[in-house]
Amino acid sequence: MKTNISDALYQQALTLMPGGVNSPVRACRNVGKTPLFIERAYGDKLVDADGNEYIDYVCSWGPNIFGHCRKEITESVIRAVQNGLTFGACHKGEIELAELIKKNVPSIELIRLVNSGTEAVMSAIRAARGYTGRDKIIKFEGCYHGHSDGLLAKAGSGVLTNSLPDSEGVPKGCTDNTLSATYNDENSVKELFERMGEEIACVVIEPCAANMGVVPPKEGFLKFLRQITSEYGALLLFDEVITGFRLSAGGAQQYYGVKPDLTALGKIIGGGMPLAAYGGKREIMECIAPLGNVYQAGTLSGNPVAVAAGIAMLRLIEATPDLYSELDRKSALLEKSLFQKGIYVNRVGSVLTPFFTDGTVTDFKTAKSADVKQYAKYYSHLIENGILVAPSQFEAMFVSYAHSDEDIYNTIKIIENFLE
Ligand code: KE4
């Protein structure tokens, strides 16, 4: 596989950006590779600068649930662009997108559009603190909620992959109010509430973790969090940046039947453009400026072009009745073939992770026991054979509606010959 153009571009990028990338995981350092430079994408395919084509299971880390360049979305963006790129003022698209989200995620009574998942979670936590008047938050080891200072404490995803237990540059004070619990371990949460319950503003969780690899909530865990937060007057914040519109049109809260007080969304709702959101109970969100005294703002928030992509995406979801059943069917084929070859796979709907471990992965500790060198070999074998998966054991594999059965079977064949 020739990659000299990507390699040359990478050398140039290294002189301009830290690690030559605009997001650490793309540097592929943990799989001992250098990044490909992608030229174009269509359906479930990516084409790199050297003309190599790949079946894409990264799907831009989640947004592309219909694959790349789905015409309903691209045409809607092209139309929007012709009316102007950004107004810095209200426009009706914001109402339409907000209504589409509220319709599918009824726990969201009031919503605020922002530009990234990081911003969505950071702002939701500020709303929780403003509403409760409390400072402490509980997060779970191995979960990643974006790179705001207070949340880079035993985060998953990039930080876990780069094995930085905490990020440098985050002043100690910023994480003093961040308590870490163990995913799927009720006692670790109970103990914190018993010690500091009255000081806890919210519990923030990925209702199905996907940043230490996919780790589903064990039976009753989310319900337990719902109960204990209500008991202590703390709020429950679901970070559904990945799971929102991914596990179902109502996200993980519909899939698992547990209603949070606040939700952060991103990725899919932007249709591939930089757009995210946070929202929840009216009386909580009424704390947000200009109504309330919790300040949050954004130059490009509710951007008309990004909103047009988001509206097209959510309309497409509503117009595709077999979306989630098809995603589940295709993803199950991958899961089954991996499992039959002795690989431990965690899968929920169309997000899955093959773990190179000696047993099932149920939390941060078991995820970290994975053989990342073996994963690197797996990654290299796949990419050499035209299959692109996450360049890290601690991410998810995404299946899109554009993945054909034939591509799934080709993928299985290539994975099986690696495992043999
Ligand atoms: P962004 O700020 O990257 O849009 O979203 C942060 C975020 C928040 N919450 C969850 C559950 C997330 O998964 C993310 C971002 N996910 C990572 C990969 N798992 C994005 C990829 C990257 O960092 O380049």
Please check whether residues 106 and 201 belong to one and the same domain.
Answer: yes
Please check whether residues 289 and 190 belong to one and the same domain.
Answer: yes
298, 318, 338: which is the final residue of a domain?
Answer: 318
Quote the pLDDT of residue 320. Answer: 98
Ligand 1 mean position, distance from CA 347 (Å): 19
Please check whether residues 256 and 347 belong to one and the same domain.
Answer: no
pTM: 0.97
Please report which confidence band the pLDDT of residue 164 belongs to, taking 50, 70 and 90 as the band edges. Answer: very low
User: At 390, which amino acid appears?
Assistant: A
Ligand 1 mean position, distance from CA 341 (Å): 30
Please check whether residues 413 and 332 belong to one and the same domain.
Answer: yes
Please check whether residues 47 and 107 belong to one and the same domain.
Answer: no
Ligand 1 mean position, distance from CA 117 (Å): 6
318, 339, 358: which is the final residue of a domain?
Answer: 318
Quote the pLDDT of residue 176. Answer: 84
Please check whether residues 59 and 80 belong to one and the same domain.
Answer: no
144 catalytically annotated:
yes
- Phi, psi at 419, each rounded to 5°: -70, -30
Residues above pLDDT 90, as percent of the chain: 93
Please check whether residues 273 and 364 belong to one and the same domain.
Answer: no
Please check whether residues 289 and 386 belong to one and the same domain.
Answer: no
Q: Who contacts 40 (Cβ-Cβ below 8 Å, separation ≥6)?
A: 46, 47
Which residue puts its alpha carbon closest to atom 5 of ligand 1? 117
Is there an atom of ligand 1 within 6 Å of 146 CB?
yes
239 catalytically annotated:
yes
Please check whether residues 334 and 388 belong to one and the same domain.
Answer: yes
Q: Which of 23, 38, 144 to mutate to test the pocket of ligand 1 (most atoms within 8 A of CB)?
A: 144
| Domain hosting residue 165, numbered range | 71-318
Is there an atom of ligand 1 within 6 Å of 59 CB?
no
278 catalytically annotated:
no
Question: What pLDDT digit, counting tens, does each position of 181-222 carry?
Answer: 999 999 999 999 999 999 999 999 999 999 999 999 999 999
Is there an atom of ligand 1 within 6 Å of 142 CB?
no
User: At 383, which amino acid appears?
Assistant: I
Quote the pLDDT of residue 170. Answer: 86
Catalytic residue among 144, 183, 255, 344: 144
Please check whether residues 261 and 399 belong to one and the same domain.
Answer: no
Is there an atom of ligand 1 within 6 Å of 161 CB?
no
Which residue puts its alpha carbon closest to atom 13 of ligand 1? 242
- Among 68-72, 80-84, 192-196, 315-319, the range scoring the smallest mean pLDDT is 192-196
Longest dimension (CA), the chain: 61
Angle subtended by helix axes 186-196 and 221-232, to nearest 10: 10
Catalytic residue among 267, 281, 330, 368: 267
Q: CA-CA distance, 273 to 390, in Å (whole number)?
A: 20
Please check whether residues 19 and 43 belong to one and the same domain.
Answer: yes
Strand order in the sheet with 38-42: 38-42, 45-48, 53-56, 387-388
Please check whether residues 212 and 305 belong to one and the same domain.
Answer: yes
Please report which confidence band the pLDDT of residue 155 belongs to, taking 50, 70 and 90 as the band edges. Answer: low
Quote the pLDDT of residue 384. Answer: 97
Tell me the three-class secondary structure of 203-250, residue by residue.
EEECCCECCCCCECCCCCHHHHHHHHHHHHCCEEEEEECCCECCCECC
Assign residue 401 the CATH number of its domain.
Answer: 3.90.1150.10
CA distances from 390 to 61, 76, 192, 398 (A): 8, 29, 34, 9
318, 353, 376: which is the final residue of a domain?
Answer: 318
The length of the chain, given as a count of residues? 420
Assign residue 261 the CATH number of its domain.
Answer: 3.40.640.10
**Number of compact structural domains in the chain:** 2
Q: Which of 145, 245, 273, 301 to mutate to test the pocket of ligand 1 (most atoms within 8 A of CB)?
A: 145
